[in-house]
Structure 1
Amino acid sequence: MTGKLFGYARVSTDAQSLERQLDILKEFGVLEADVFTDKISGTKLHRPQLDQLQRILRAGDTVIVESLSRLSRSTKDLLAILEDWQVRNIAFISIKERLDFSTATGKLILTVLAAIAAFERDITYTRVREGLASARARGRVGGRKPMDKKKLEQALKLYDAKSLTLSEIREATGVSASVIYRALWKRRDRDASKENPHNG
């Protein structure tokens, strides 16, 4: 290990304590000054201290967490973070699962996680396509009613504010996570087109 050792700890609410995770990280040699902590849901990809840690990480550094769920409760987001760190040559160790993703075993598990995520995406896509085909066979143009644009705009504003989880946004607006993600992808593509008008 040639770089610096960092720790990351997270709980979901202010009422929960970080002490147990901090004690474990200290036992593994992480200095208190190098531990980043968040009190926010693990379903959120962007968190203040995790984002700060991401900004200062350099090739050769190592990040240690008490368990995988502390880094993320979303398989998709966890995989995205780990793949990004792998590309950046940043090692990651999860104490509870006894996983070191810089080892051959850790890299194999990362490959398996990626394969499972791709399989789940393919299954979801196939089900949606079959559902739309079934709906057309019954004389319907689409599988669902058109989305209320005002509700979608409200949902996107709540998502951008990062104050609610996706499930809370769904409860408040009636807009599902899948619809929000599709809208975010479209918005990203539009923004990219504006920044690079000559591409394509």
Structure 2
Amino acid sequence: MKIGYARVSTEDQNLDLQLDLLSQDGCQKIFKEKMTGKRGSRPVLDKALATLKNGDMLVVWKLDRLGRSLRNLTNILNDLEGRGIGFRSISDGIDTETPAGRLLFHLIGAIAEFECSQISERTKAGLHAARRRGRRLGRPPRIGHHDVKLAKHLRDTQKLNYADIAARLGVGRTTLWRAMAEDAEP
């Protein structure tokens, strides 16, 4: 059975072109979704994927209708292949039931894996370089050196506990405790 999936990103966009092409391609059932591809969850796509059985074929108009990121797309296609489900992208000329289509599918997967490792490598190198230059990474501190001095003064002179001091400074107890511990380091 050929099952189609059509998606547009916004409510004011039109699905007609995709629906016509999916019908012409012989899809017996077509799932329609109006939602951005950048969202993690696409309920209609999930339903379409759950409907597919061994021997079925998922058909889309273009690859970008199925997934926005290469990683997401590769994960979906690997799942389909593992379940014995074919995949066809009409305008991209991919059909995993042909040798050329399977080759293209695996090339896309290899490129996605390479891209992912390159991004990870560049990110790690950038973080390492920033640390070497003494740059503090992460969120900016919620509490500055002046506030830490005030907190220590309140603790020592007025014998206030961390919860009371944190409430006065408008921060959480853990934030205050961590800032005071870091300030004590040489």
Same fold (TM over 0.5): yes
Counterpart contact for 2:4–2:60, Cα < 8 Å: yes
CA-atom RMSD, angstroms?
2.0
Q: Say whether residues 1:42 and 2:37 are aligned partners.
A: yes
Q: Say whether residues 1:14 and 2:15 are aligned partners.
A: no
Q: Per the alignment, do residues 111 and 15 of structure 1 end up closer, same or farther by CA in structure 2, a change over 3 Å counting?
A: same
Q: Per the alignment, do residues 112 and 148 of structure 1 end up closer, same or farther by CA in structure 2, a change over 3 Å counting?
A: farther
Query: CA-to-partner distance for each residue in 1:127-159, whole Å, 9 max, x for gaps?
Result: 22222322332234x5x233789xxxxxxxxxx
Q: Say whether residues 1:105 and 2:105 are aligned partners.
A: no
State the 1:104 CA deviation: 1.5
Paired amino acid for 2:126: G
Q: Per the alignment, do residues 146 and 9 of structure 1 end up closer, same or farther by CA in structure 2, a change over 3 Å counting?
A: same
Q: Say whether residues 1:27 and 2:21 are aligned partners.
A: no
Q: Secondary structure at the match of 1:93?
A: strand
1:50-199 maps to which residues of 2 (within 5 A)? 50-140=45-135, 144-146=137-139
Q: Extract structure 1 runs of 4+ deviating beyond 4 A.
A: none
Q: Secondary structure at the match of 1:52?
A: helix
Query: CA-to-partner distance for each residue in 1:139-196, whole Å, 9 max, x for gaps?
Result: 34x5x233789xxxxxxxxxxxxxxxxxxxxxxxxxxxxxxxxxxxxxxxxxxxxxxx
After TM superposition, the score normalised by the length of structure 1 is 0.65
Segments of 5+ residues of structure 2 without an aligned counterpart are 143-186
Instruction: Determine the C-alpha separation between the residues in 2 that align with 1:81 and 1:14.
Output: 24
Query: CA-to-partner distance for each residue in 1:19-59, whole Å, 9 max, x for gaps?
Result: 1111111111223xx11010001223421211111112111
Paired residues, number? 142
